[in-house]
Amino acid sequence: MPTVPPISRDPSPPTTTLGYALFATRWLQAPLYFGLVAAQGVYVYKFFNELWALILRCVTGQATETYVMLAVLKLVDVVMIANLLIMVIVGGYETFVSRIGLQGHRDQPEWLSHVNSNVLKVKLATAIVGISSVHLLQMFVDVHHTSRHSLLWGTVIHMAFIASAAILAYMSGPMAAQAERASQHAHGGHQAHHTHPEHAAERPAEKVFVPAQATSHDDEPSTEQRLRAAGFPARKLLEDFDAEHPRSFDQDAVARLGKLDFVAARRNVVFVGPPGTGKTHLAVGLGVRACQAGHSVLFATAAEWAARLAAARDAGRLTEELDALDAHPLLIVDEVGYTPFDAEAAALFFKLVTHRYERASLIVTTDRPLGRWDEIFGGPSALAMVDRLAHHAEVVRIEGDSYRMRRVTSAWADRGC
């Protein structure tokens, strides 16, 4: 029996070993953050101690209006310092020590998905300005017991904090722009520009897909890289969706989906509604938020997914392609139902849905209710596909007129036509 030769490995260069050793010293900071957690406990004790003193003074009738106002400002001051502490603890640990795996958690702070040293410094400076404002307000409220010297220097120090925060914010802008240009330069030659009929007048006749590749955890892509690799036709945010346009849709369901719990639970989302009611906007908005939370996302229309799977099948690597797509926790399939599919395309979609079932999430936009998908996918696979897709799915129905047609009608009305 032939023996497998051992894999020879070149010894690590001393510089690499030294670099790893130096990088490992970041864990020396971990006890510092646990110390800040203890300090936060001290502030919790101080808060309730001040609150109890305020309640006692109010109950016994010894609290004047000025005292109540000063006591409340002290409580606000304690809370703001506690907020500053949690920002340093969570943001600093995430930036300088180790990643905190909270992607998609319902309580994840908005800024944690794109935290870096510049963002953290600006937010800390802003928080310090807020705390300084409370201290200065306390001086003005108790002005009769505050010397002019204290008021003067309190104001000067507060203005210095404001100036420092403004300078940090100004400097972080060019730094972020420089990093953005570097990222575009590094990846500009490899990124394809995608268009979509709901967002552009023209689109390329054919879209070339690169086979899905598993991402390396040793070289985790940035949020910008994930957004570019997703292939969104345009970057749409959930916050920019015109909730007043549809005649009806479940806003609570969309807000709940925005927490991305469905991605962690490997559930699906189906947006159903007429063309132009914002299905693609909502799907892209969820995809963008998933990218910001650290998830890998792929977007394509139903026709493009059919072409991609057909190319993999013709190359004899359909199973490998479906397995490779598992590296993306979220796939978005847009425009299901706009064009009918033959039996071969229906079988490919059935394989995609079946393979992702209880394994990873799908977002599907369609103009047909799931009960009418036999009109799109002929054959017996349609019912089985719908059964698996809808089993663990949030179905959001959107009713209304086309947003684009409304804008066209409004434009004609403005011209007096």
Q: Which residue has the higher pLDDT, 302 or 126?
A: 302
Q: Which residue has the higher pLDDT, 413 or 284?
A: 284
Cα 160 to the chain's mean position, in Å? 34
Contact 249, 398 (CB under 8 A): yes
Contact 306, 339 (CB under 8 A): no
Per-residue confidence (pLDDT) for residue 55, from 0 to 100: 94
Coarse DSSP helix, strand, coil percentages of the chain, rounded to the nearest 5 percent: 60, 10, 30
- State whether the Cα torsion 38-44-50-56 is positive or negative: negative
Per-residue confidence (pLDDT) for residue 309, from 0 to 100: 95
- Whether 173 shows a pLDDT value over 70: the answer reads no
Instruction: For residues 402 and 417, give the distance between their C-alpha atoms in angstroms, rounded to a whole number.
Output: 20
Per-residue confidence (pLDDT) for residue 351, from 0 to 100: 92
Per-residue confidence (pLDDT) for residue 38, from 0 to 100: 94
Contact 263, 295 (CB under 8 A): yes
Highest-pLDDT range among 159-173, 195-209, 255-269: 255-269
349 to 58, 190, 271, 376, 384: CA distances (angstroms) = 69, 28, 17, 11, 11
- Whether 13 shows a pLDDT value over 70: the answer reads no
Q: Which residue has the higher pLDDT, 393 or 207?
A: 393
Report residue 216: phi and psi, to 5°.
-90, 130
CA atoms within 13 A on the CB side of 38: 6
Q: Which residue has the higher pLDDT, 198 or 293?
A: 293
Highest-pLDDT range among 124-138, 145-159, 191-205, 369-383: 145-159
Instruction: For residues 345 and 64, give the distance between their C-alpha atoms in angstroms, rounded to a whole number.
Output: 77
pLDDT band, residue 140 (cuts 50/70/90): confident
pLDDT band, residue 405 (cuts 50/70/90): low
pLDDT band, residue 403 (cuts 50/70/90): low
Structure tokens given for 146: 């505050």
Instruction: For residues 296 and 225, give the distance between their C-alpha atoms in angstroms, rounded to a whole number.
Output: 10
Q: Which residue has the higher pLDDT, 14 or 150?
A: 150
Contact 136, 155 (CB under 8 A): yes
Alpha helices, DSSP H only, in 265-396? 279-292, 302-314, 318-324, 343-356, 381-391
Per-residue confidence (pLDDT) for residue 237, from 0 to 100: 92
Average pLDDT over residues 174-182: 53
- Whether 344 shows a pLDDT value over 60: the answer reads yes
Q: Which residue has the higher pLDDT, 277 or 124?
A: 277
Average pLDDT over residues 14-32: 81
b/e 334-371 (16+ beta carbons within 10 angstroms → b): bbbbbeebeeebbbbbbbbbebbbeebbbbbbbbeebe
Other beta carbons within 10 Å of 292: 20
Q: To which residue do tokens 């304690």 refer?
A: 78
Per-residue confidence (pLDDT) for residue 16, from 0 to 100: 64
Contact 325, 359 (CB under 8 A): no
Per-residue confidence (pLDDT) for residue 187, from 0 to 100: 42
Q: What is the mean pLDDT of the chain?
A: 79
Query: Which residue type is seen at 171?
Result: M
pLDDT tens by residue, 107-117: 666 555 555 56
DSSP structure class, residue 399: B
pLDDT band, residue 200 (cuts 50/70/90): very low
